[in-house]
Amino acid sequence: MNRLIEQFKRSLVIAGKNIRIYYLKGPVIIFGLVFPLFLTLAFIIGRNISLRELLPGLIGMTAFFTATAVGPSIVPWETRSRTLERLLCCPVTLWAIVLGDILSSFVFGIIISTIPLLLTLSLAVGTLDFVTLFLGLIIANLCFSALSVLLSAYPPTDVPATSMMLSSLVKFPLVFVSGVFIPLEYLPQLGIAVASLSPLTYLVDLARHLILKTGFYPLTLDFVVIIIFTALFMFVAVKLHERGLVKRLS
Amino acid sequence: MNIIKTNLDEYAIVVQGLTKHYGDVTAVDHISFEVRIGEIFGFLGPNGAGKTTTIRMLTGLIKPDEGGAFVAGFDILKNPVEAKQRIGVVPEVSNAYVDLSAWRNLILIGRLYGVPQSKLQENAISLLKEFGLYEVKDKTVRSFSKGMRQRLLLCMALINDPEVLFLDEPTSGLDVESARLLRDKVAQYNREGRTIFLSTHNMEEANQLCHRIAVINHGKIAAIDSPENLKAKSMELQYIEVVFDKLVDLRDFSDSPDIVKISPLGNRLRVYTANPSAVVEFLVDFAKRNRLKILSINTMMPSLEDVFLKLIRGEGAVVK
């Protein structure tokens, strides 16, 4: 147990290092701030729907884009700048390094996605279960961060732009199939089946439950599925990074 | 691995049958050796011989396909974190974080080793002063020269006060002053009791610093011994360098059975032999018979470079 705690502390040190180094990198700002901002404007402006009805999609989209902005670039950057080998020489397990990367991505996501959450609070006071929504947002941010670090594992490239581009290829389709633009109840059976494979679906559904009281899945199921996705992404991320390590070091 | 406890008390590194394949290529092929506590152990080999792969396995970066090793008393396969906790590493392909200051880099690595905060600050200040980086500790590493970066990497490797220090080509590409400083520091840290595992291309460096040297070639250990013993075992690589006042016909030297090979180098003749005194006598006699003056004559021991080349090229490449 002591070993686990010690490794977790070292994950926090790695997360701190990542925050200091990678938050201000150009691609992170573009994919994590500029992009979601314009997508949000495109999502809101000119639609004949009330802001309150747009909020679940807005929360989901913001969390998804911001939490996945930092993760894909860290390992490629470390490979390119030749700091990865230095890091791996330290008494830190690979899972602790991956967790550190996930946590730094998570912090970026949670800070930015608090903005639509505060907007929600200002509009939906009274009946809103803010604590549950915030808890859901925390778990979902962790899940999306784990996905982003997983996406940086393959191919084991040392070009951050390549990793960012490939992760965008996964991220964009997920946004369109996750009930952000069209609620799940209006989707055909095939659409619902595809949406069920995306973790974003469950955050948007969770937010619709708590803000609009019209969720598709039971609230507990939303939480459980997001937690399962998080554990799965973390596990696969560690395994894939482990497999690509020799290639990265060569 | 079946390594008895007494061995682990005596040795800082114990390697047994360590093997690594990359696809069809065997990078490291069942190598075994030991490094005693307090020893500077040189690891020499040509490019692609398996030096870096061996160091990466010993420092827990990559897993061996076969065999194993104990480093600082810990099995690198079963307890990699515990082994890493007791070692310091300057990897071959490595850099400090260029966006961070020298100070932040040191603190980062210290925290990753779990060094307590007060001890960490004390170690960081002491190392930065020792390596002449204290004045620039708050500057980002981006502005550092290669020599300064290499000194910082050594500081980072020493921040946890390691028992064993792994240095992979630490002076490669450095200017003379920085290389000498690093060599002096390696010798100093060894005198203080640390075990040093040094991979280098620099034969003079290995000759000066190392108690013992292993030469690796095509993934296999070609020789392990002290520099002096390695040279002594290659006495056929001794040579006599002689300069006559006139040009001579090399065929005239075929009378001496002790001469192994002759190489003309400008007006000098390099005469290889395992029996220098007999050849000196022969050369003096030869000069008298042919009315030649000997302008200079010197007996030279084989250099470590000669021994290294002989080992990696195979027997008879230098001596024909």
ipTM for this prediction: 0.89
By the CB < 8 Å criterion, does A46 face chain B? no
The reported pLDDT for the residue numbered B319 is: 28
| A178-214 tens-digit pLDDT | 988 888 989 999 999 999 999 999 999 999 998 888 8
Contact state of A89 with B95 under an 8 Å Cβ cutoff: no
Distance from CA of A20 to the nearest CA of B (A): 8
Domain boundaries in chain B?
A: 42-61+80-225, 239-300
| pLDDT of A130 over the 80 cut | yes
Say yes or no: A194 contacts chain B, CB-CB below 8 A.
no
Tokens of B240: 């006599």
- Asked if B111 and A10 come within 8 Å (Cβ–Cβ), the reply is yes
Across the interface, which of B59, B96, B99 has its CB nearest the CB of A89? B59
Distance (Å, rounded) from C-alpha B183 to C-alpha B192?
14
If one counts every other C-beta atom within 10 angstroms of the C-beta of residue B32, the result is 13
User: How is domain B42-61+80-225 classified at the CATH fold level?
Assistant: Rossmann fold (3.40.50)
Q: What is the pLDDT of residue A154?
A: 86
Q: Per-residue pLDDT tens for A31-89?
A: 888 988 888 888 888 777 887 888 899 899 999 999 999 999 999 999 999 899 999 99
8 Å CB contact between B8 and B168: no
Confidence band for A126, pLDDT divided at 50, 70 and 90: low
Contacts of B81 in chain A (CB under 8 A): 3, 7, 91-93
Contact B98 A85 (CB under 8 A): no
Q: With cut-offs at 50, 70 and 90, classify the pLDDT of residue A3.
A: confident
Is pLDDT at A216 greater than 50 in this prediction? yes
- Global pTM reads 0.84
Cα–Cα distance between B113 and B82 in angstroms, integer? 10
Distance CA B207, CA B223 (A): 15
Based on the structure, what is the number of domains in chain A?
1
| Bridge partner list, B20 | B28
Would you state the pLDDT for residue A127?
Answer: 62
Average pLDDT, rounded, for chain A: 90
Q: Range of A132's domain?
A: 2-249
A241 inside 8 A of chain B by CB: no
Please tell me if residue A9 touches chain B, with a CB cutoff of 8 Å. Answer: yes
Give residue B229's pLDDT.
82
* pLDDT above 70 coverage of chain A, percent: 98
Distance CA B90, CA B200 (A): 12
**8 Å CB contact of B108 and A17:** yes
For residue A120, pLDDT beyond 90 = no
CATH class of B239-300: alpha beta
Q: Are the Cβ atoms of A91 and B81 closer than 8 angstroms? A: yes
Q: What is the mean pLDDT of each run of 10 residues along chain B (320 residues)?
A: 61 95 92 95 90 94 93 94 95 86 97 95 95 95 91 94 93 84 91 93 86 92 87 76 87 81 86 86 90 89 77 49
